[in-house]
């Protein structure tokens, strides 16, 4: 492909570890991309309200808003936007990752060349990639934390609000966005956080 196009491509990288974030940003800049960074999902959403990148690379396990939540919002709102998930855990067998990301790398188990090749492949494909499911109707997917409230992010205006978590897990819920009035449909699922806490799922180092 015409590599001069890549210089116009903007990549948003999200990771809560500042060293990993800056290292990843430096590597991706060396590929010729323009890079913005965010230290969690809320900062990423703020950036997405301002300017839409051409790709998102996100850590999956982060405090405040996990990569799973962020990427489910991105998939719902911007289904054409290519996404890469990166995590220290081996999650593919148990997670609905294919619905959330276009590619998954396990932390420390890929080379910069592999990342570069996958990014260019996904960006080259993005104008023609099929929309996944009915993005406008697909519910958001929110991992359940053991708290009395959950954070729901509106896929229309990308603003987040806390609501009481008194529903049964796995039920489809609806709530109205306090900021813009849009109806938000969401699913609460505790399986991912349980899996993240299950050390047996980690691959041997």
Please provide the distance, in angstroms rounded to a whole number, between the alpha carbons at the two ends of the chain: 36
In the complex with Zn ion, which residue's Cβ is closer, 118 or 185? 185
**CA–CA gap between residue 30 and residue 103 (Å, rounded):** 20
Identify the three-state secondary structure at position 55: strand
In the complex with Zn ion, which residue's Cβ is closer, 100 or 158? 158
CB of 177 to Zn ion, least distance (A): 3
In the complex with Zn ion, which residue's Cβ is closer, 77 or 103? 77
Identify the three-state secondary structure at position 113: helix
**CA–CA gap between residue 132 and residue 135 (Å, rounded):** 7
CB of 156 to Zn ion, least distance (A): 5
**CA–CA gap between residue 160 and residue 8 (Å, rounded):** 30
CB of 73 to Zn ion, least distance (A): 11
Q: Please, which residues have CB within 8 angstroms of residue 46's CB and are 6 or more apart in sequence?
A: 38
Which residues lie near Zn ion (CB under 5 A)? 154, 156-157, 177, 179-180, 182
In the complex with Zn ion, which residue's Cβ is closer, 38 or 158? 158
CB of 161 to Zn ion, least distance (A): 9
């Amino acid at each position: 492909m015409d590599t001069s196009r890549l210089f116009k491509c903007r990549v948003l990288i999200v990771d809560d570890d500042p060293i990993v974030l800056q290292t990843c940003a430096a590597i991706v800049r060396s590929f010729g991309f323009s890079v913005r960074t965010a230290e969690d999902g809320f900062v990423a959403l703020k950036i997405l309200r301002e300017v839409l990148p051409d790709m998102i690379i996100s850590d999956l396990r982060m405090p405040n808003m996990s990569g799973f939540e962020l990427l489910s919002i991105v998939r719902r709102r911007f289904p054409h936007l290519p996404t890469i998930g990166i995590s220290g855990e081996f999650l593919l067998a148990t997670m609905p990752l294919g619905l959330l990301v276009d590619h998954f790398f396990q932390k420390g188990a890929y080379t910069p060349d592999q990342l570069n090749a996958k990014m260019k492949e996904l960006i080259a494909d993005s104008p023609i990639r099929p929309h996944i499911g009915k993005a406008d109707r697909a519910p958001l997917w929110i991992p359940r934390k053991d708290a009395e409230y959950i954070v729901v992010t509106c896929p229309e205006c990308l603003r987040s609000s806390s609501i009481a978590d008194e529903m049964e897990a796995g039920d489809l819920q609806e709530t109205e966005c306090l900021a813009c009035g849009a109806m938000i449909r969401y699913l609460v699922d505790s399986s991912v956080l349980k899996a993240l806490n299950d050390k047996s799922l980690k691959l041997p180092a």
